[in-house]
């Protein structure tokens, strides 16, 4: 039976970690994720978990310690944000190339410089192709639920890839919301015990981890990583189906909100989806067929499924909370339009960069996007596919 509580997103993540009770948590504080290891360290000191908590000297060391723990045969977790993730960059790639199913809470924050501690998605987008499974969370409940499902996905023998659960810094990480927690025993049973097939401390099978890998094998090993990411799609759905049967909470690659007959569709991730849904409801009351496609699974990217969902729309806007700095739009936009092109879906699509550095995005901002889509449909042409939303020069 679920337990009703009121928690911040960081508290929810820490409680999920407590219930999972990993072998090792290694972490270094960075705003706005600091509270997650801080809360968890109290569980360690109070004897609520038997986790080995490693207080390291940097985020690079945090990921290094997690890699060592997983390679040795343990279950490891961590949390970070922004520049902390940037400092991990080398080890992020090593974790995935060694096929170590580490789970990390990534509390999304702008990457310096200039220094900014507030939310956008530049940290996650910086490692989007590093070989990690990436789940995004609209609210505190989703951050909690995604963490409960994370190990089941990452540790699956056909996947064996690290996984990060993303949520928006301060917007959800520090905001208190109503949430349903699961019983400790349910989580223990659902997550299960980690039993790796190969690990360094198995004296019956001496192995090397991370050896020199030159021309003869690296290509094949990278292809195996890519195949594992493809395999993750099936596993994500299987785990979500089992989770729904147990809790009643349904998850998939994405959420389709009022999409059954939608003509104007916004594609977005994380907390902005709540504002977009609210705006879509307001416009529906006025007879405007607005819909929202909220991406939950960003890696592996569900290209075919997204293209199919958008195929009946008359115009689409993709909202990116990180600029690609490439002159051709943000990361989510390029992925969505690539998916549409490859799957022969021809719908006028525009990109909006928004919310950089934590700038507020309100319902009237979202309504402006829907109005722009209506104008595109009316005129039959897209004047400029690369746009900004809420930039001061627009006022």
CATH code of residue 299: 3.40.50.920
Q: What's 393's DSSP letter?
A: G
Distance CA(310)–CA(346), nearest Å, equals 9
**pLDDT reported for residue 301:** 98
**The domain containing residue 37 runs over which residues?**
3-247
**pLDDT reported for residue 68:** 98
Distance CA(277)–CA(298), nearest Å, equals 19
Q: Which of 247, 272, 298 is the last residue of a domain?
A: 247
How wide is the angle at C-alpha 236 spanned by C-alphas 230 and 241, nearest 5°?
Answer: 145
Q: Which of 223, 247, 271 is the last residue of a domain?
A: 247
**pLDDT reported for residue 394:** 54
Question: 93 and 20 in one domain?
Answer: yes
Distance CA(322)–CA(150), nearest Å, equals 24
Question: 264 and 229 in one domain?
Answer: no
Query: Please, is 188 exposed, middle or buried when counting C-beta atoms within 10 Å of its C-beta (0-12, 13-18, 19+)?
Result: middle
- Contact between residue 159 and residue 226 where contact means Cβ atoms under 8 Å apart: no
Question: 167 and 54 in one domain?
Answer: yes
- Contact between residue 355 and residue 361 where contact means Cβ atoms under 8 Å apart: yes
Nearest to 356 by CA among 118, 47, 176: 118
**pLDDT reported for residue 304:** 98
Beta-carbon count within 10 A of 117 CB: 17
| Total of domains in the chain | 2
Q: Which of 201, 223, 247 is the last residue of a domain?
A: 247
Taking the mean position of all CA atoms in its chain, how far away is CA 239?
16
Q: What's 100's DSSP letter?
A: -
Beta-carbon count within 10 A of 224 CB: 13
Q: What is the pTM of this model?
A: 0.97
Find the helix or strand (DSSP H, E) in which 388 lies. strand 386-389
Q: What's 289's DSSP letter?
A: -
Place of tokens 């991990």: 88
Assigned token pair, 391 = 């930039």
**pLDDT reported for residue 194:** 97
Question: 126 and 200 in one domain?
Answer: yes
Question: 259 and 195 in one domain?
Answer: no
Question: 280 and 227 in one domain?
Answer: no
Question: 263 and 240 in one domain?
Answer: no
Question: 359 and 260 in one domain?
Answer: yes
**pLDDT reported for residue 393:** 81
pLDDT digits (tens), the chain, 395 positions: 789 999 999 999 999 999 999 999 999 999 999 999 999 999 999 999 999 999 999 999 999 999 999 999 999 999 999 999 999 999 999 999 999 999 999 999 999 999 999 999 999 999 999 999 999 999 999 999 999 999 999 999 999 999 999 999 999 999 999 999 999 999 999 999 999 999 999 999 999 999 899 999 999 999 999 999 999 999 999 999 999 999 999 999 999 999 999 999 999 999 999 999 999 999 999 999 999 999 999 999 999 999 999 999 999 999 999 999 999 999 999 999 999 999 999 999 999 999 999 999 999 999 999 999 999 999 999 999 999 999 998 55
């Amino acid at each position: 039976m679920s337990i009703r509580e009121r928690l911040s997103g960081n508290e929810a993540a820490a409680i999920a970690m407590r219930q999972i009770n990993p072998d090792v948590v290694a972490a270094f504080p960075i705003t706005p994720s600091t509270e997650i290891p801080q809360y968890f360290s109290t569980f360690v000191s109070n004897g609520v978990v038997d986790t080995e908590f490693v207080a390291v000297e940097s985020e690079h060391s945090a990921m290094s310690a997690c890699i060592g723990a997983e390679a040795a045969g343990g279950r490891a977790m961590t949390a970070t944000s922004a520049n902390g993730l940037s400092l991990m960059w080398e080890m992020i790639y090593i974790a995935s190339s060694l096929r170590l199913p580490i789970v990390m809470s990534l509390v999304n924050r702008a990457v310096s410089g200039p220094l900014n501690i507030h939310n956008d998605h530049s940290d996650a987008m910086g490692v989007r192709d590093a070989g990690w499974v990436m789940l995004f969370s609209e609210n505190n409940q989703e951050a909690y639920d995604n963490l409960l499902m994370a190990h089941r996905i990452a540790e699956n023998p056909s996947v064996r890839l690290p996984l990060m659960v993303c949520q928006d810094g301060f917007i959800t990480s520090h905001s208190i919301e109503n949430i349903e927690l699961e019983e400790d025993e349910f989580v223990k049973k659902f997550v299960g015990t980690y039993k790796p097939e190969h690990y360094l401390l198995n004296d019956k099978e001496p192995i090397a981890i991370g050896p020199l890998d030159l021309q003869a094998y690296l290509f094949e090993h990278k292809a195996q990583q890519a195949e594992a990411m493809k395999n993750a799609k099936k596993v994500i759905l299987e785990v979500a189906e089992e989770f729904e049967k147990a809790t009643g909470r349904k998850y998939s690659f994405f959420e389709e909100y009022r999409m059954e007959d939608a003509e104007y569709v916004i594609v977005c991730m994380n907390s902005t989806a709540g504002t977009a849904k609210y705006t879509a409801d307001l416009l529906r009351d006025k007879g405007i067929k607005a819909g929202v496609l909220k991406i939950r699974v960003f890696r592996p990217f569900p290209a075919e499924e997204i293209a199919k969902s958008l195929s009946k729309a008359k115009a689409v806007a993709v909202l990116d909370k990180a600029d690609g700095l490439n002159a051709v739009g943000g990361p989510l936009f390029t992925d969505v339009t690539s998916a549409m092109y490859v799957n022969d879906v021809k719908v006028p699509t525009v990109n909006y960069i928004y919310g950089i550095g934590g700038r507020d995005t309100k319902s009237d901002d979202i309504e402006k996007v829907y109005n722009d889509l209506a104008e595109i449909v009316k005129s039959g042409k897209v004047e400029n596919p690369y746009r900004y939303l809420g930039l001061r020069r627009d006022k």
